Amino acid sequence: MPMNNSSQCPRFLTLEGGEGAGKSTNIDFLRRQLVAAGVEVVVTREPGGTTLGEQLRALLLDTGSQLCDDTELLMMFAARAQHLEEVIRPALARGCWVLCDRFTEATYAYQGDGRGINLERIAQLETWVQGELRPDRVLLLDLPVAVGMERIGGRGGPDRFEREAQAFFQRVRDGYLRQAEADPERFRVIDATVSLARVQQQLNAAVADLL
Ligand code: T5A
């Protein structure tokens, strides 16, 4: 669906960032800000957001899954195709905004920069699955890898991604920042190292022009 710039049109917003950057912590804050501004919003996540997507998510995060890189990539896009069909496109068509915890920008960062899959191959899948639809605003919570890891260190066993080496997450971070630099119209980089209150001030400012 081509998007225009009218403040009345439904908007597709995503939260991105490395492990422990604060996406889950901040998504409900953003939802409340949008609702307070009179916006009807659907909050969802990737991989996931549908029954099939959540099943694929469980397989993708399971440390017992033996997935080659192309399988991982295709599972992300399989979950995304279902998510677009069942949740995202219908919500936008109803006039709702969509707030999604990760989307294709994560695929470029994790499967592209992290795993080393050719970015052009990802772009082909993006166009195949999404057509022209892209997030209107990508809120990139940025922080050093070690800080994110420390923040999630206290919780249960690491999932299949969290088991990766520091160098993998550094490539992911660098990749996200390159995307943001290449596309300043859509991306807003949020300094996620500061207090939650200051992160949320930045998030407010990053969506203010859309409201
Ligand atoms: N993936 C996903 C791909 O490889 N390709 C893709 O295309 C897609 C869509 C699952 C995995 O899938 C991969 C990437 C992921 O590895 P996920 O569950 O969304 O995706 O991602 P995770 O990064 O694993 O989610 P996390 O829960 O680990 O990180 P969050 O949500 O960014 O962090 P959050 O909010 O849980 O915060 C972590 C801790 O930090 C504290 C919080 O209280 C919490 O304890 N915190 C702060 N502390 C101090 N100051 C602040 N400002 C703080 N903000 C949060």
User: In this predicted structure, what is the pLDDT of residue 1?
Assistant: 39
Distance 25 CA to ligand 1 centre (A): 8
User: In this predicted structure, what is the pLDDT of residue 157?
Assistant: 82
Residue 79 Cβ inside 6 Å of ligand 1? The answer reads no
Residue 48 Cβ inside 6 Å of ligand 1? The answer reads no
Residue 133 Cβ inside 6 Å of ligand 1? The answer reads no
User: In this predicted structure, what is the pLDDT of residue 44?
Assistant: 98
Q: What is residue 62's DSSP assignment?
A: -
Prediction pTM value: 0.95
Amino acid 197 reads: A
Residue 135 Cβ inside 6 Å of ligand 1? The answer reads no
The closest-lying atom of ligand 1 relative to the alpha carbon of residue 27 is 35
> pLDDT means per 10 residues in the chain (211 residues)?
50 96 95 94 98 98 96 98 98 97 98 98 98 98 95 84 94 98 97 97 95 87
Strand order in the sheet with 187-191: 41-45, 97-101, 12-17, 137-142, 187-191
167-204 as b/e, with b when 16 or more CB fall inside 10 Å? ebbbbbbebbbebbeeeeeebbbbebeeeeeebbebbe
User: In this predicted structure, what is the pLDDT of residue 156?
Assistant: 76
The closest-lying atom of ligand 1 relative to the alpha carbon of residue 19 is 23
